Amino acid sequence: MAPTLPAFTLPQAVAETFIIGLFYGLYLVTACYANRWLFFAEGWKLRKNIHWFMAVTTNLLAAMLLVSTALVLRDPIDQSTFVEKGHTPEEYVAPDWDTTVKCIIANLIALVADIVLVYRLWVVYGRKLGVVYFPAFLWVSGIVCTVLQGYLQAKHIHDPNFDPYQWASVNMNVGPGIALIPFWGSTVILNAYSTGLLIWRIRQASKKGENVTVVKQLRHLLRILMESGVLYLAISIAHFFVWFGQDNFAIHVIGGLNSIVMTIAFNLILIRTAQNRAEGEEIKYDGVGMSAMHFKSKPMMISAEYQNSLDTEPTVYPSSSHHNV
């Protein structure tokens, strides 16, 4: 039978609200900066070519996170109202639909961020499908786990004694652990695998580069990926392992922070790459932008589209502007 977690008390709900509110404020700062660079160039001039894929993705994540955070911050208000009616805080139980919506949104945020990462991996490896088969399998597995999670929670609303909630040996209170644990496990593996391959590819490319400007740009990309990747992986791993514990407060706080930290890491990539462009460090060769950088290994090429996938404005270069580094 699934373990029963200790009650989530009102003081814990207030503490969770403070922590989530603080981090959501940090997220809003990064979201504003990201949109500033998505739609405006240096000097607040509207971009002629807006990277609409990244703009839509960034603001889709913002919309989902807003709904999720609003539901998290709503809990202590409902709990306080419940206590004012003469009940004890320990008797309060959040509505089933509330938990269902929060879990699904958290999964969708991770899936959106993960598919962008898989896309970047595909681009930097010259659009070879072989390199993305494994992360794509993990991503599809995440979708399956999300559907299973939604089914389990919907079924549990109508039948509290639904079988999986009786035989499961992991936490099923905050969300169905038998679906969420494999979901977050697949997310951790996908990010570790994809980020690791990206870092290795760019590092190898920087070693082969002879042009100082190109090498500098690649090393800057490397730092961006490493820092944001560590941030993303840290919260994903924490969220994965917290499900094995019996601390209700930790599960609520880490669960609330998970999506926020993920989207902060996502925005930081956009911000830092755009700032780098504004500082005049965009890759150039004899004054001409490169649509691809070719390296002499088998074959070592990083497409300029990868820079665009990180950046805020798509850059279109003539096909003839290819140079060896």
> DSSP for 29-66?
HHHHHHHHHHHB-TTSPBPSS--HHHHHHHHHHHHHHH
What pLDDT does residue 290 have? 31
Q: Which residue has the higher pLDDT, 219 or 145?
A: 145
**pLDDT, the chain, mean:** 79
What pLDDT does residue 208 have? 74
What pLDDT does residue 291 have? 33
Give the C-alpha separation, 213 to 234, whole Å. Answer: 32
Please state, as a whole number, how many other Cβ atoms lie within 10 Å of the Cβ of residue 169.
Answer: 10
Residue identified by tokens 């994540």 is 61
DSSP-derived letter for residue 258 is H
Is 110 a residue whose pLDDT tops 90?
yes
Nearest Cα to Cα of residue 256 among 46, 16, 30: 16
What pLDDT does residue 2 have? 52
322-324/292-295 β-pairing? parallel
Domain contains 1 = no
**Token pair for 245:** 């514990």
Q: 324 pLDDT band (50/70/90 cuts)?
A: very low
Q: Which residue has the higher pLDDT, 293 or 37?
A: 37
Domain contains 255 = yes
Task: Provide, rounded to the nearest whole percent, the portion of the chain with pLDDT above 90.
Answer: 34
pLDDT digits (tens, 9 = 90+) for 273-288: 887 776 654 443 333 3
What pLDDT does residue 222 have? 83
Please state, as a whole number, how many other Cβ atoms lie within 10 Å of the Cβ of residue 9.
Answer: 16
Residue range of the domain that includes 46: 10-324
What pLDDT does residue 162 have? 65
**Token pair for 296:** 């002499």
Number of domains forming the structure of the chain: 1
What pLDDT does residue 292 have? 36
Measured CA to CA in angstroms, residue 95 lies from 19, 102, 103, 174, 317 at distances of 22, 11, 13, 11, 54
DSSP-derived letter for residue 174 is S
Is 310 a residue whose pLDDT tops 80?
no
Domain contains 50 = yes
Please report, for the domain that includes residue 124, its CATH number.
Answer: 1.20.1070
Name the most confidently modeled range: 3-12, 71-80, 161-170: 71-80
Q: 293 pLDDT band (50/70/90 cuts)?
A: very low
Residue identified by tokens 């941030």 is 231
66-75, 114-123, 151-160, 183-192: least confidently modelled range: 151-160
Q: Which residue has the higher pLDDT, 245 or 204?
A: 204
Residues in a beta bridge with 292 = 303, 322
What pLDDT does residue 161 have? 72
Direct distance between the N- and C-terminal alpha carbons of the chain, in angstroms, rounded to an integer = 61
Q: 167 pLDDT band (50/70/90 cuts)?
A: low
Residues in a beta bridge with 323 = 293
> Would you call 115 helix, strand, or coil by DSSP?
helix
Domain contains 167 = yes
Domain contains 47 = yes
Residue 46: phi, psi to the nearest 5? -60, 130
Give the C-alpha separation, 307 to 54, whole Å. Answer: 12
Nearest Cα to Cα of residue 35 among 308, 266, 283, 304: 266
Domain contains 4 = no
76-80, 170-174, 276-280, 299-303: least confidently modelled range: 299-303
**Token pair for 130:** 């072989």
Q: Which residue has the higher pLDDT, 166 or 257?
A: 257
pLDDT digits (tens, 9 = 90+) for 216-255: 777 878 888 888 889 999 999 998 888 777 788 888 899 8
- Compute the half-sphere exposure of residue 158: CA atoms within 13 Å on the CB side of its CA: 5
Domain contains 3 = no
Contact 239, 245 (CB under 8 A): no
Ordered strands of the 322-324 beta sheet: 300-303, 292-295, 322-324
> Would you call 55 helix, strand, or coil by DSSP?
helix
Is 138 a residue whose pLDDT tops 90?
yes
